[in-house]
Amino acid sequence: MSDTYKAACVQNCATADVAQNIAVTLELTREAAAAGASLICLPEYFSGLETIDGLLHPAAFPEGDHPVLPAFSEEAKKLGAWILLGSLGVKSDDGRIFNRSYLLDASGTVTARYDKIHMFDVNLGAGKVYRESATIAPGSEAVIAQTPWGGLGLSICYDLRFAPLYRTLAQAGASMLAVPAAFTKMTGQAHWHILNRARAIEHGCFVIAPCQYGTLVGGGECYGHSLIIDPWGEVLADGGEGPGVVVADIDPQAVSRARGRIPALEHDRMVLIKGDPKAPGPHAKNAAE
């Protein structure tokens, strides 16, 4: 595992113009590299997102034709940096779209892919209804990417609300958790900082959470406030509500120090539930078994 390094979050407001979004985020990625970042993370759907008839529509292409991948692969190679493409809309052969993260190493090679598992199907009131599953197909597998600095657990946006996913990642060796997002402004104001800090504290992990900001074409607002959080829950960087880059020093040894102080991952125990045998919790075994 390498020594201390710099990680960065890129924060943009995507439009429906994919070429423009790529140009903007490539420039921000170069800015992050110039600030010394070796791991540069971009938000969910940074290359294109709009709202049509109340539904979120990402710019989507088959993986082999996606314009983002060659552009950022070449950039990773030029910069000698690892780049997390927070998520792209990717069309499958059967016509479905996946919300997919890609991790590129410093040679520009894709080293990991992750399809978002949890779909954002919610009713926030005041006419704010979201049905991600109407346009996106869920993934089914958790992913840990191996990096020079340790295991990076991959997740996307709404996944943040499902702590068992992160427990699984941490127990399987993740020391960093990526949470690229386009979190809504309403839910972001209420929950974004709290949930990201909780995931860091619960698992003794760094959390790197780049988030889009601003108003989307067709309606809807993203919260911004891209975060880098240490394993003790301290916010090392906060991107605020505008475009730009935030950078923070990451000391991989801080993970073992935090877990040594509070070894919660070693203290997990099976929970026995008395009651409905049809509805055990995700970490539970029914007492009747």
Q: Return the structure tokens found at 16.
A: 């429906």
- Cβ(204)–Cβ(170) below 8 Å: yes
Q: Which of 44, 75, 132, 221 is catalytic?
A: 44
Q: Return the structure tokens found at 87.
A: 């998520």
Backbone angles phi and psi of 222, in degrees to 5: -105, 150
Per the annotation, the verdict on 128 as an active-site residue is no
Tokens 């988030």 sit on residue = 211
SS3 14: coil
Secondary structure element (H or E) that encloses residue 26, with its range: helix 18-34
Q: Which of 9, 116, 221, 222 is catalytic?
A: 116
Per the annotation, the verdict on 13 as an active-site residue is no
The secondary structure of 127-142 as a DSSP string is T-EEEGGGT-B-----
Q: Which of 41, 157, 205, 211 is catalytic?
A: 157
Q: Is 57 left (phi over 0), alpha (psi -120 to 50) or beta?
A: beta
Residues annotated as catalytic are: 44, 116, 157
